[in-house]
Structure 1
Amino acid sequence: MSSLQLNETQARVLACLVEKAVTTPAYYPMTVNGVMAAANQKSNRAPVMQLREADVGGALADLEGMKLVARDESGSRAIKWRHRFEHETLLPKSVLAVLVALMLRGPQTLAELKS
């Protein structure tokens, strides 16, 4: 993938999927409502967003077209989503972690990123 540009909503949705895969694996993959709640979370987010279900659904559809997310329809009544960001970009985990932190929290100091 030579160049990747995401809008603010796409970046937030993708970063939330990556974050929740690591921090809450019991609730991953996630439904659209779960992604929306994560994206609209008030703590550890900058800027705080108020995305609607349609915004999140549109971002997921766009990201699916970019092959950065995939539907996970196995064993559930609701469609769930999982990220493919790491697989598509082949970024090392440390680089992925810093990138996701920036996508979720905006500009950070070096000390904040090290933590």
Structure 2
Amino acid sequence: MLHDGARNAGTLRGTGIIGVSPHVTTHMNTPSEAAPRPALRELTPLEARVLGVLVEKQHTVPDTYPLSLNSLTSGCNQKTARSPVMSVSEDEVLTTIDGLKRLSLVIEGSSSRVPRFEHNVNRVLGVPSQSVALLATLFLRGPQTAAELRANSARLHSFADISSVESFLDELAENDPPRVVKLPRTPGERESRWMHLLCGEVNISDMPLREGQGGESYSLSEFEALKSEQKRLAHEVAQLRAMVERMAGELGIALDQPPSDA
């Protein structure tokens, strides 16, 4: 087993290309049919979010799983238990699903008039359900400590203790290629955080600072979300101003003149 420092250094300096071990086969392959799988390309943040939502809802709302496009989009845009918060359309999610289907990571059901989608993460990556629960939690919430992962993944899998979580994380980190990496501790952190590698190598400088680490910081995706929210608020202000001006015109009030003293 590699020491954490050596493993982390190798991962952070790596190419970030995520692949599937050629030695992993599914139950559909016979030994004579087994063939090396093509490397799995890096996922986009939205692809990771879609997979995380599918895994989460499989456990939290099993009666409605597999998910419809509408439910899946709502899960992607959920305000709680998400970091960063996203605002995506059904068209964007559908395009993302098409890409994941080509990677066999998402399967579309055919037993309903409404298309429904389910994940295939465990078979494609060749990892157990416990590891899928941890990966999904990282997809949805970003970097977390082992203790945070245990708490945040409780509805997906009940880990006996933190050491159990760390054992599965170590296995994922030792996978070929690695699926997670243990991040170096930053000033003010008591425990190291873990992050998945399916979207490529982790750039430590892009990681948002945690509370109490000397100021507020945002990742690029969070910054884009803030800009989108700012544009929405500016549009609402413009609409309100137009409404006030229209009402003032109907009442014969000149908005550009200060009120007269009584």
TM-score normalised according to structure 1 size = 0.93
Give the one of 133, 138, 148 matched to 1:112.
Answer: 148
List gaps (5 residues or longer) in structure 1.
none
Structure 1 counterpart of 2:134, one-letter code: V
Deviates more, 1:86-95 or 1:40-49: 86-95
Higher helix share: 1
CA RMSD, aligned part only? 1.1
Structure 2 counterpart of 1:50, one-letter code: S
**Structure 1 equivalent of residue 76 of structure 2:** 39
* Secondary structure in structure 2 of the residue aligned to 1:35: helix
Give the one of 61, 64, 88 matched to 2:124.
Answer: 88
**Structure 2 equivalent of residue 73 of structure 1:** 110
Number of residues of Structure 1 aligned to a counterpart in Structure 2: 114
* Secondary structure in structure 1 of the residue aligned to 2:67: coil
Query: Which has the larger Rg?
Result: 2
* Secondary structure in structure 2 of the residue aligned to 1:82: strand
**Structure 1 equivalent of residue 46 of structure 2:** 9
Q: What is the percentage of aligned positions where both structures have the same residue?
A: 39
* Secondary structure in structure 1 of the residue aligned to 2:131: helix
**Structure 2 equivalent of residue 56 of structure 1:** 93
Task: Name the structure, 1 or 2, with higher relative contact order (CA <8 Å, separation 6+).
Answer: 1
TM-score normalised according to structure 2 size = 0.42
List gaps (5 residues or longer) in structure 2.
1-19, 22-38, 152-262
Deviates more, 1:5-14 or 1:84-93: 84-93
Structure 1 residue 55: Cα displacement:
0.9
**Structure 2 equivalent of residue 20 of structure 1:** 57
Structure 1 counterpart of 2:45, one-letter code: E
Structure 1 counterpart of 2:146, one-letter code: L
Q: Deviations over 1:78-104 (max 9, x none)?
A: 111111111211212221111110100
Structure 1 counterpart of 2:104, one-letter code: K
Distance 1:110 1:13 in 2: 23
* Secondary structure in structure 2 of the residue aligned to 1:112: helix
